[in-house]
Each structure stands twice: as C-alpha cells, then as structure tokens.
Amino acid sequence: MIPVFYTVLFFLKAVFTPGLDRIDHKRVHLIHVNKHKIAHLDSLIDESSALARVPDSSDCILTLNDSGGKPEVFAVTGHGALLHTYSIPFAKNKDWEELIYIEDTINHQSHIVIGDVGNNSNKKNELSLYDYSITKDSIVQHVFYYEDRMAFQPSKENMNYDCEAFFKKDSAYYFISKNRSKGPVKIYQLIQDTIYHKAVIVQKILLKGMVTACSVLSSQNKNKDDKLVVLTYGRIYLFYIHPTNFAVKLIPYGVIPFPGCGQAEGITWLNEKELLMSNEKGNLFRILIKR
C-alpha cells in the first residue's frame, strides 16, 4: 500500500506534467469522455490491481488484490458485487499486478493468466506468469526474465524493470514496463512455448506517466487491428496493435485525460465505446468514449 503522501504526488504529476498528450514527441488526438464513479468493489478486494472482462458473459469482471494478498482471483459484477472467488493452487501472491482471461476454444478450457510481475525496488531477476485453468483447477507457472536485465540492483536512473501491464496476442505475451525512470517505456515479447525463457524487447515508446494496466479489444473485422488501452496515472493512451513479421507494433491514436480518479490500477474494455476502471481504493469508474 502506497502512503497518502505519494498518492497525492502521483495525482499532481498526472495533472501538471507537460507532454502528457505526446507519444514519441508527437502530439496525439485528444479523446473526450464522460466519466462516472458507479460503485465500490466488495470489501474482500481491498487493493484492486487489475480488471479483466469475461467475454460473452452478461456481467462478470475479474480482479485481484495487489502484493501480499491471498492467491485469489475475484469474479464480480460490473457494479462490484462478489460473484465467486477462485483460490489459485500452489501459487503465491508476491506482487500480482495484472491478469487476463483466455477462452481456449480448441481444448474447451477457460484460463486466467496472472502476472506476478511487480518489481517496485527492481531487485527481482525472475518474474512469473501463473496460467490457471478454471476447467481443471490447476496451474502452470511460467518463469521468465528480461533480456536487458544485467545488474542485480540497477542504479536509480535505470530502474525500469517494474511492470504492471501485459497482454496476449496470438502465441506471445507482451509486457509494458512501468517507466519509473526517465527512459522510454519498453515492450517485451515472451513467446508461449517453454516453461522458462527470456522476454525480448520489440519496441520502445516515449510517453509520460507510469503504466499501471492495459486491456485489449479484439477487432471483429480481420482487416482492422485490435485496440489497446494503456492506463497511467491521470491518462489513458490508446493504440492499435499492428502485427509485424515476428511481433506486434503499438501505433498510438489517442489519449484520454482523467484527473481525480486516485491511484488507478485496473482497466478493461466493456465494448468499443465503454471502459471500466478501478483504483486501489476499490472505486469503479465507467468511462464512455464520445464520438
């Protein structure tokens, strides 16, 4: 839990830091929204750090608690009421920061993939993904490391090995660095084919703010790219996920300012026009994108 003093600093930085409407030094389109606080999460969720909508469900959102909590994932309604608690076997919540839901239509299985990827002090060399099969009530742990992680304890200006956002595209996971240092945000690719391996850098993006979550909206048109929202303190950046020969490239197309929402840590698409966002205090916000 971050003290109130630092939460205030995050808010002030989000509002007053110049260049928050630029990516790679280029101005991006400002997108206007209507924002409403709609609910508070169930009391069991005392430090919400991620959101993921279950597709094809009438009203089911997945969330989890931040570091030090029990190894549990909570299914809640869009208004925060608890539906179910998944206890993740043989897992430890060292610093859970993000999750995604995957429907395996080939093997007829549902999965929750949890990112134990938080690394505030940058002391950890190895990070983990827990792939939890809801169908089998079992997990596979994927241990990985960043290819450019050289020193055990990097200097303050190089402390950019923290992560709170990842997504999956085709057979690879992509991790977005939190950007605690003055350098660019790094996009790492982790191919899903082994239990232990290396995440490699496939893109670097210059943007202001620390990245705390992301969410993918899959395109229903094969000729159009999927969309990605990237959450920071005070801003939401929007990208197209453009496939390349060996990875993907994030192409920015907009930014949404939203000061006054506290330490926002979770976000998910509800549909093409709506987002659901949570902060660590358990407040839920619905964001309607104007056209």
Span 202-229, pLDDT tens digits: 999 998 889 999 999 999 898 899 999 9
* Greatest CA separation for the chain: 49
- Residues of the chain with pLDDT > 90, as a percent, come to 63
Mean pLDDT of the chain: 87
* Band of residue 73 on the pLDDT scale cut at 50, 70, 90: very high
Which sign, positive or negative, has the C-alpha torsion 99, 265, 17, 153?
negative
**pLDDT(42) > 80:** yes
Burial label, 137 (beta-carbon count in 10 A; 0-12, 13-18, 19+): exposed
| Tokens linked to 274 | 């709506």
- Residues of the chain with pLDDT > 70, as a percent, come to 85
What pLDDT digit, counting tens, does each position of 227-250 carry?
A: 999 999 889 999 999 999 999 999
**pLDDT(38) > 80:** yes
Residue range 39-60: mean pLDDT, rounded: 90
| Tokens linked to 1 | 């839990």
Assessment of whether the complete model's pTM goes beyond 0.95: no
* Band of residue 102 on the pLDDT scale cut at 50, 70, 90: very high
What domains are there in the chain, each with its CATH number?
4-289 (2.120.10)
Q: What is the pLDDT of residue 51?
A: 97
Is the backbone of residue 272 left (phi > 0), alpha (psi -120 to 50) or beta? alpha
Q: What is the DSSP letter of 157?
A: G
Residue 117 in contact with residue 67, Cβ under 8 Å? no
* Band of residue 152 on the pLDDT scale cut at 50, 70, 90: low
What ranges make up the beta strands (E) of 105-260? Answer: 109-116, 127-133, 138-146, 163-169, 172-177, 185-191, 196-205, 211-217, 226-232, 235-243, 248-257
Number of H helices, E strands in the chain: 1, 22
Q: What is the pLDDT of residue 227?
A: 98
Q: What is the pLDDT of residue 197?
A: 87
Query: Which has more confidence, 71 or 291?
Result: 71
Residue range 71-99: mean pLDDT, rounded: 95
**What are the helix (H) ranges across the chain?**
4-16
Q: What is the pLDDT of residue 107?
A: 86
Q: What is the pLDDT of residue 105?
A: 85
* Band of residue 16 on the pLDDT scale cut at 50, 70, 90: low
| Tokens linked to 13 | 């930085």
Phi, psi of 86 (to 5 degrees): -100, 120
